[in-house]
Chains A and B, each alone.
Chain A
Amino acid sequence: MQPDPGKGQLIYFDNAATSWPKPAGMVEAMGYYNEMVGGSPGRSGHRRSIDAGRIILETREALAELFGIDDSLRIIFTKNATEALNIALLGLLQSGDHVIATCMEHNSVMRPLRFLETQGVQISVVSCSGDGRLNREDVQTAIRPQTRLLVVTHASNVTGTIQPIAELGQLARDHGVLFCVDAAQTAGALPIHVDEMAIDLLAFSGHKSLFGPQGTGGFYIRRGLEQRLRPLMMGGTGSRSEFEAQPDFMPDKYESGTPNAIGLAGLGAGVRFVLAEGVEAIRSKEEELTKRFLKGLASLKGITVYGPADAADRAAVVSFNIDGVSPSEGSLELDERFGILCRPGLHCAPAAHRTIGTFPRGTIRFGFGYFNTEEEISLALEAIRSLALRE
């Protein structure tokens, strides 16, 4: 870490945007790729190309293990969760279809849906409680004969609220509705099993709790669903080069153009780190940090906390406000005076802020990660106390 002049070490609480620092193995894997591999995966038959392909396969296999996916080739790589969600939504929904989303969705879901609305897709946005919780019955009520898809964020990027994914997946399956989960905040941080949760499409971010570099993400597609999902991009795949039609098999159908191989080498190391530490252990530590922070905030005056009271009901994300201090002022002071890095504002999720009553003001958001410490939580609580008292 770079020391902050005169203020000691930086405290990085923006893990909900991008995790930092990364495990040592991630940086090493990218360095190794750059020095020792360097070829174009899936494109040529020479050893460096094949090595590049092997590294990408290993990343797929590690993710398949993490999410309980039996065939790693059902995982598609994209540049981020946003691109994955765009492929899922724009590739699946057509005029006349009905889709159900929740008021806690990120703009990576809401913006493609609002575009699709102009193309004749009907949209229902199911309300959530003031702490962001979705009620299964409200989803059930919204289902119509034309409902094609239910799309739900596993955990809110604003409040951290965890939705009952397994329950919702079963509900969707019982009604013949496809189920897409936005796991941007949870992949690597909470247990995810695609079969046990009846997930048809799982979008994940590589650079958050999977500890990959930026520019990595992807999605899983349940077997057979690729026949109904149009690709957003078409082009060279290294396969079926004699044909001008896009391949119809996984993963090539959705992976046109040279991939971010060096990034995927890093992502593979990140996922292997998660597997080695264990999602349960990672969750346990992050939940403990969150619990400690929530408890500390509750003892301070002039602080409003949003989202579930119990740390067990949220990912390691906490949004709060300090009376009389705007989120942008507060975060600037936290950075400049205390070296605490976080994110103020609306967090690309305006409907979520409307739900918790913080639109358009926004909140200060702390996103904790596996590498944060109890000491950092204590220092942050002291800093917030000081801001609340205008010291």
Chain B
Amino acid sequence: MEAPPYAVFLFPSVSHALKAEKILKARGIAHKVIPVPRHISSDCGVCLRVAAEQKELAAEALQGLATWEKMVLL
């Protein structure tokens, strides 16, 4: 089975997601803010999408600075 190309980080609120975005930007980790995919959560907010192979790098960058609720492979 082919590895999923993207992972998304879900946050409690848009404020958290945008704080995380700022951290990833500063660390030079490619990412995109996207609306939360409906099949993952019914929340109306946004989440951070990164390449699946960068999920550990992103998680390490965010650890302790921006709390995420879950990380899901798309």
**A residues within 8 Å of B by Cβ?**
41-45, 50, 53-54, 56-57, 60-61, 72-73, 237-242, 247, 249, 251-252
Identity of the chain A residue whose Cβ is nearest the Cβ of B65 in the assembled complex: A71
5 closest cross-chain pairs (CB), A and B:
A45-B35, A239-B13, A42-B14, A57-B18, A241-B44
What are 17 of the A-B contact pairs (CB < 8 Å)? A44-B35, A44-B44, A45-B36, A45-B45, A53-B46, A54-B18, A60-B15, A72-B19, A73-B16, A237-B13, A239-B14, A241-B44, A242-B42, A242-B43, A247-B12, A247-B13, A251-B13
Residues of A within 8 A of B21 (CB): 54
Residues of B within 8 A of A44 (CB): 35, 44
Interface residues of A: mostly helix, strand, loop or mixed?
Answer: loop
Provided the pairs A57-B18, A57-B19, A73-B19 are in contact, do residues A249 and B12 lie with their beta carbons within 8 angstroms? yes
* Interchain nearest-CB distance for A45 vs B (Å): 3
A42 to B13, CA, bound (A): 8
A238 touches B12 (CB 8 A): no
A240 contact from B19, B34, B43, B46, Cβ within 8 A: B43
**B residues within 8 Å of A by Cβ?**
12-16, 18-19, 21-22, 33-36, 42-46
A41 to B14, CA, bound (A): 8
Residues of B within 8 A of A45 (CB): 33-36, 44-46
A238 touches B13 (CB 8 A): yes
A50 to B33, CA, bound (A): 8
Identity of the chain B residue whose Cβ is nearest the Cβ of A237 in the assembled complex: B13
A211 to B19, CA, bound (A): 24
Residues of B within 8 A of A60 (CB): 15
Identity of the chain A residue whose Cβ is nearest the Cβ of B21 in the assembled complex: A54
A239 contact from B18, B19, B45, Cβ within 8 A: B45
Residues of A within 8 A of B34 (CB): 45
A365 to B21, CA, bound (A): 46
Contacts A50-B14, A53-B18, A247-B13 known; 20 new A-B pairs at CB < 8 A: A45-B35, A45-B36, A45-B46, A54-B18, A54-B21, A57-B19, A61-B22, A72-B19, A73-B16, A73-B19, A237-B13, A238-B14, A239-B14, A239-B45, A240-B12, A240-B43, A241-B42, A241-B43, A247-B12, A249-B13
